[in-house]
Amino acid sequence: MTIEISDKTYDEEFVKKVEEISGENFHKCMQCGTCSGGCPMIEHMDIPPRQIMILTHFGLKDKVISSKTAWICATCNACSVRCPRGIELTKVMEAIRQLTLRKNINYVEPSAISEEIMAGLPQIALVSCFRKHTS
């Protein structure tokens, strides 16, 4: 993947927002890949967590926001507990999701869940899914 990085591609507002919402200093990331190595969802992601960190650092908003990675992330914290730089990646992923959700865009439509599935679901599945994937 060739990526152009220049002052034209750097979205400062995006970087500031992710910093603010996540409360994390993801610029500390040293690209070791420990997060990606232990991520149970990695094979389903289009961009590994390690790359999400550097793309966010470089302010490449479109690449990060259009990636499905933050939506596939299950907030399992396997990455956060192992990151040698002490970055809570789950908070960075949350911030990336929030940037979309706060525009009133849902990732999951509650009305699209079938009655059959709904009937068997534990409440914590519904509540956590809606907390993570609806605005």
Partner 1 sequence: MKISYYPGCTLKTKAKNMDCPGVAALNALGVELVELPRWNCCGAVFSLADDDLLHLLAPVRDLIRVVEQGDNKLVVACSMCYNTLARANLLMRENSEKRHTINTFMEEERDYNGEVEVVHLLSFLRDEIGWEKIKESIKVPLRGLKIAPYYGCTLLRPQSVAIEPPEKRTLFKDLIETMGATVVDFPASTDCCSSYQILSNPDIGIETVSKILESAESWGAEAIVTSCPLCEYNLGKRQEDALRKHDKLKELPTFYFTQLLALALGLGAEVCNFELNHNGVVRLMESKKFLTAA
Identified binder of ligand SF4 from the candidate list 9, 10, 21, 41, rule CB under 6 A: 41
Quick one: which of 27, 19, 36, 21 has its CA closest to 82?
36
Distance, in Å, from the CA atom of 82 to the CA atom of 59, rounded to the nearest integer, reads 24
Identified binder of ligand SF4 from the candidate list 25, 31, 66, 128, rule CB under 6 A: 31
Site size for ligand SF4 (CB under 6 A): 28
The token duo for 135 is 């605005």
Distance, in Å, from the CA atom of 25 to the CA atom of 59, rounded to the nearest integer, reads 14
Q: Does 3 help bind partner 1 (rule: CB under 8 A)?
A: no
Identified binder of ligand SF4 from the candidate list 15, 18, 47, 53, rule CB under 6 A: 53
Question: Residue 64 in 3-state DSSP?
Answer: helix
Quick one: which of 71, 54, 66 has its CA closest to 3?
54
Identified binder of partner 1 from the candidate list 47, 55, 60, 95, rule CB under 8 A: 95
Residues within the interface to ligand SF4 (CB under 6 A): 29-35, 38-41, 49-50, 53, 73-79, 83-85, 87, 89-90, 93
